[in-house]
Amino acid sequence: MQAGVVAMSLLTAVARKLFRTGSITLTEPDGTVSTFGDGTGEHVHVAIRTNAAARAIALDPMLAMPEAYMNGTFEVLEGDILGFLRIAYVNANRKGANPLFTRIVEGSRVLLRRFQQVNTLARSRENVHRHYDLSGEMYRLFLDADMQYSCAYFERPEMTLDEAQEAKRRHIAAKLDMKPGLSVLDIGSGWGGLGLYLARRFDAEVLGVTLSTEQHAVSTERARQEGLENQAHFELRDYRKLSERFDRIVSVGMFEHVGVNHYRTFFDKTATLLKPDGTMLLHTIGRSGPPTATNAFIRKYIFPGGYIPAMSEVLPAVEKAGLVITDVEVLRLHYAETLKHWRARFLANRERAVEIYDERFARMWEFYLAGSEAAFRWHDLVVFQFQVTKRNDTLPITRDYMTSVEDALRKTARSGPERPKPVQKQRRRTLSRSDHKS
């Protein structure tokens, strides 16, 4: 009993220090009810069911609170988990809001982050297996029809998820300065949607590499069904084992799994794989703030070995590889909107997720989607798109060519284009050598 009193006293002290704005009510394990904040905004009422959960949350909230939510010992009685996280993030952004022992725990994670990101070939495969080799049906519960598991591009606020993912593919193709018949490497090719899009729209020769057996099987079958198996090839290979050279390299949502220890390896390798007149587009989650550690819940349960970089960590590795950054775009709030759609779809199909796995998994996934949306809305997460070449004269000197490509793709999407006519092999080789400028 005494331990329980101490645990709740500690948690109450932390809550009073943290929650200065907003309206939040806490029901303790013994039924005691406390209110925090200034009463503004949407009201949220949460309950902690055990003293052990209260003690753990007070000492290490970044890990223990999600775990308690997964276990059912942290419940939201009024509002929802996103509403709670909004209040938490808004208050945590205030200087001095977090107690000293919480800052010490997070500081130790920063010190240990390089040891947690030793992503050898074997460890990288295992990390990918833990997340991407989940049931394909489970991912279909919340992704768009093309199974794009990365940030969509909302050209207009009212876009559907499928429309915004189509816009993302257009945006990437434009930044790659795509032309008919080029060779393309897709590093971390997922379920094949982007590679098939480039093969279909530009008659490109695409090699997609992934470490996920589930994604490889799906993307290979999709290529067969679309009659693109002679143009789009998907292989279970680590990018570090490649030796071919390509006109274009694209990587979407894979760089988060590289790890800060391996950034130099990534860019050194892609420099050798990119032809002298080639272009690369790297699309990755990033942070607008300084370097830090991976969120403890995400590292333990969602993306082991993963790390979200600050821009200051990426650019030195690009420079040392002898590559040229030709364009940088920061997508703000686009991923928050993407996650909003994903979470709504997941909740609509939550019963099926429980059938596939169990209640604890469904609660874990719900927190993952809500927590990620909150981090993009109210914390420091953004998406970086880095356009990279080997020479500073590879691309046109204005961005007009990007707009032209997107406009053309948008028009053909509305008119329902047929697949482009095949480009002869001899012509394809000529294009890859000399037709790299507009």
Question: Tell me, what's the pLDDT at 413?
Answer: 75
**Which pair of structure tokens corresponds to residue 22?**
């907003």
Residue 260 pLDDT: 87
Over 80: is that where the pLDDT of 306 sits? yes
DSSP one-letter code for 149: -
User: Which of left, alpha, beta for 183 (phi over 0: left; psi -120 to 50: alpha)?
Assistant: beta
The answer on pLDDT for 21 being more than 70 is yes
pLDDT tens digit sequence for 177-226: 999 999 999 999 999 999 999 999 999 999 999 999 999 999 999 999 99
Q: Is the pLDDT of residue 6 over 70?
A: no
Query: Mean of the pLDDT values across residues 260-278?
Result: 96
The answer, yes or no, to whether residue 376 has pLDDT greater than 60, is: yes
User: What's the pLDDT at 230?
Assistant: 94
| Domain 121-434, second-level architecture | 3-Layer(aba) Sandwich (3.40)
Q: Please report which confidence band the pLDDT of residue 100 belongs to, taking 50, 70 and 90 as the band edges.
A: very low
Higher pLDDT, 433 or 134: 134
Distance CA 32, CA 364 (A): 27
Assign domain 2-98 one CATH number from 2.60.120, 3.30.1050, 3.30.70, 3.40.50.
Answer: 3.30.1050
The pLDDT tens digits for 36-46 are 999 999 999 99
Report residue 131's pLDDT band, with 50, 70 and 90 as the boundaries: low
**Above pLDDT 90, what percent of the chain?**
72
DSSP E strand boundaries for 118-240: 183-187, 205-210, 232-236
The pLDDT value recorded for residue 303 is 86
Average pLDDT over all residues of the chain: 87
**Does residue 420 register a pLDDT over 90?**
no
Task: Look at residue 369 and tell me whether its pLDDT is greater than 50.
Answer: yes
pTM of the model: 0.87
The lowest-confidence range among 7-11, 379-383, 410-414 is 7-11
Structure confidence at residue 261 (pLDDT)? 87
Quick one: pLDDT at residue 429?
34
Q: Which helix (H) or strand (E) holds 287?
A: strand 274-287
What is the arithmetic mean of pLDDT over 88-97? 77
pLDDT value of position 295: 87
pLDDT digits 0-9 by tens, 142-154: 999 999 999 999 9
Say if residue 35's pLDDT is above 80.
yes
Domain ranges of the chain: 2-98, 121-434
Lowest mean pLDDT among 41-45, 92-96, 289-293, 298-302: 92-96
Tell me which amino acid residue 277 is. Answer: D
CB 39 within 8 A of CB 85: no
Predicted local distance difference test score (pLDDT) of residue 9:
76
The pLDDT, as a whole number, for residue 128 is 62
Tell me the DSSP string of 290-343: ---PPPHHIIIII-TT--PPBHHHHHHHHHHTT-EEEEEEEE-SHHHHHHHHHH
pLDDT for the residue 115: 55
Q: Interhelix angle for 161-175 vs 193-202, to 10°? A: 60
- How far, in whole angstroms, is CA 110 from its chain's centroid? 20
- Rounded Cα–Cα distance for residues 46 and 43 (Å): 10
Ramachandran region, residue 389 (left: φ > 0; alpha: ψ -120 to 50; beta: rest): beta
